[in-house]
């Protein structure tokens, strides 16, 4: 009998716990759906920390338009279904001003229509081009276009006289977006792609596929993924004695990946925002002041290096705050229009220039070619 009562009480408690009480404290509600844990945690975890840090700073400085900012963070664990369910909650129940995130392209695509139909601003931290192309009124993204990353890689290859490459991509949304860009842009750059192989995000041994590529006499290898497999590729290549240049995507922008690859990471080339080399920038650089401020605050508080991903979330909230201030209100349409009107806006990932047809705002100049030297990120010579 006791068990019965206990069970019923537990169920009631759980139901109550799932309730979301819309306590109207006058705060500005900002929702965030990030992959804090799970397979994409390398992305979502720095993003979540960055947002929490920023919200505290904003509130400590008096808030936005005199009102506190309330961050409602949901951990999607990288799952598109959870992202969808949480998006519904944030839009329909919490009625947030904007949703920041999700961390991955797959989740972003799943909630793109939902946010657009729900007339809630979405500031995605994911890279796929399809998030903002075709442009949806309410959907923006902060990471640079993967097309530019591919373009930058091919330009570098051409300068080095590389004409035949092999590519490895992961089977996630980001990886497959990269595959599309590589296949589309390589011919125009005069580079022939011997093959593009798709590996599972949980892959533990890439020596067979690298053997295959080695047999095709490629002059360089491109790896496009955001998984820990990014560290496997350089290691496997060295172990196979496969000594050609390795290019990574901007998904490599977290020092953890370089550390995991150890000595094998030396000489890897990848396009990324200057965020990762902020301390080596000349003082006149437009982004330096902002980046150093973010770097010192984040590294001081969380005792870990900043990453490109944290930068995307940083930009998302920064853009939102700026738009709210410019619009002078938290009316969604006004804020949305204000975002579209932002020009020359200095962010962590680059200098943004939004417009009604450009909901990303970054061009190729927001990228630099970086490399790994002595275990640290440096600008490539």
**11 forms part of the interface with other proteins (CB under 8 A):** yes
In whole angstroms, the minimum distance from the beta carbon of 66 to other proteins comes to 30
In whole angstroms, the minimum distance from the beta carbon of 114 to other proteins comes to 7
**134 forms part of the interface with other proteins (CB under 8 A):** yes
The backbone region for 145, taken as left when phi is positive above 0, alpha when psi lies in -120 to 50, beta otherwise, is beta
Q: Sort strands 220-224 and 69-75 into parallel, antiparallel or unpaired.
A: unpaired
In whole angstroms, the minimum distance from the beta carbon of 84 to other proteins comes to 6
Q: 76 or 144: whose CB is closer to other proteins?
A: 76
In whole angstroms, the minimum distance from the beta carbon of 37 to other proteins comes to 6
* Selected range binding other proteins among 65-73, 244-252, 261-269, 296-304, rule: CB under 8 A: 261-269
Q: What ranges make up the beta strands (E) of 213-320?
A: 220-224, 246-248, 269-272
In whole angstroms, the minimum distance from the beta carbon of 155 to other proteins comes to 28
Cα radius of gyration (the chain): 22
**75 forms part of the interface with other proteins (CB under 8 A):** yes
What count of other Cβ atoms lies within 10 Å of the Cβ of residue 365? 10
| Bridge partner list, 199 | 170
Candidates 297, 304, 276; CA nearest to 54 is 297
In whole angstroms, the minimum distance from the beta carbon of 328 to other proteins comes to 29
Residues of this chain, 163-222, that bind other proteins according to CB under 8 A: 171-173, 175-176, 197-200, 202, 204-205, 207-209, 211-212, 214-215
- Contacts (Cβ under 8 Å, ≥6 apart) of 128: 105, 108, 109, 146, 173, 174, 177
Q: 266 or 277: whose CB is closer to other proteins?
A: 266
Q: Which of 32, 232, 268, 372 lies at the binding interface for other proteins (CB under 8 A)?
A: 232
The answer to whether 221 and 165 have CB atoms below 8 angstroms apart is yes
**357 forms part of the interface with other proteins (CB under 8 A):** no
């Amino acid at each position: 009998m006791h068990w019965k009562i206990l069970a019923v009480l537990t169920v009631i408690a759980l139901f109550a716990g799932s309730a979301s009480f819309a306590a109207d404290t006058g705060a500005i509600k900002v929702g965030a759906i990030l992959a804090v844990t799970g397979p994409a945690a390398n992305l979502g975890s720095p993003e979540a920390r960055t947002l929490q840090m920023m919200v505290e700073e904003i509130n400590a400085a008096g808030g936005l338009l005199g009102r506190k900012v309330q961050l409602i963070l949901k951990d999607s664990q990288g799952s598109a279904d959870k992202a969808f369910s949480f998006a519904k909650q944030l839009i329909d129940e919490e009625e947030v001003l904007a949703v920041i995130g999700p961390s991955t392209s797959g989740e972003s695509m799943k909630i793109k229509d939902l946010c657009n139909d729900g007339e809630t601003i979405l500031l995605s931290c994911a890279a796929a081009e399809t998030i903002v192309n075709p442009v949806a009124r309410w959907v923006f993204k902060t990471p640079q276009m993967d097309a530019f990353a591919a373009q930058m890689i091919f330009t570098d290859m051409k300068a080095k006289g590389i004409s035949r490459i092999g590519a490895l991509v992961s089977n996630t949304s980001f990886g497959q977006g990269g595959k599309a860009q590589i296949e589309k842009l390589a011919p125009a750059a005069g580079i022939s792609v011997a093959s593009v192989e798709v590996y599972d995000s949980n892959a533990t041994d890439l020596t067979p596929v690298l053997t295959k590529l080695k047999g095709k006499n490629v002059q360089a290898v491109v790896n496009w993924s955001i998984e820990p497999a990014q560290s496997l590729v350089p290691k496997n290549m060295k172990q196979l004695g496969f000594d050609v240049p390795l290019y990574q995507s901007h998904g490599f922008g977290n020092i953890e990946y370089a550390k995991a690859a150890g000595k094998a990471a030396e000489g890897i080339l990848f396009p990324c925002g200057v965020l990762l080399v902020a301390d080596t920038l000349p003082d006149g650089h437009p982004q330096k002041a902002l980046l150093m401020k973010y770097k010192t605050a984040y590294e001081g508080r969380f005792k870990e290096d900043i990453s490109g991903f944290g930068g995307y979330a940083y930009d998302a909230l920064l853009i939102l705050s700026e738009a709210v201030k410019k619009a002078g209100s938290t009316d969604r349409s006004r804020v949305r229009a204000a975002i579209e009107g932002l020009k020359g806006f200095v962010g962590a990932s680059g200098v943004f220039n939004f417009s009604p047809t450009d909901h990303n705002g970054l061009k190729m100049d927001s990228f630099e070619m970086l490399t790994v030297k002595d275990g640290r990120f440096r600008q490539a010579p």
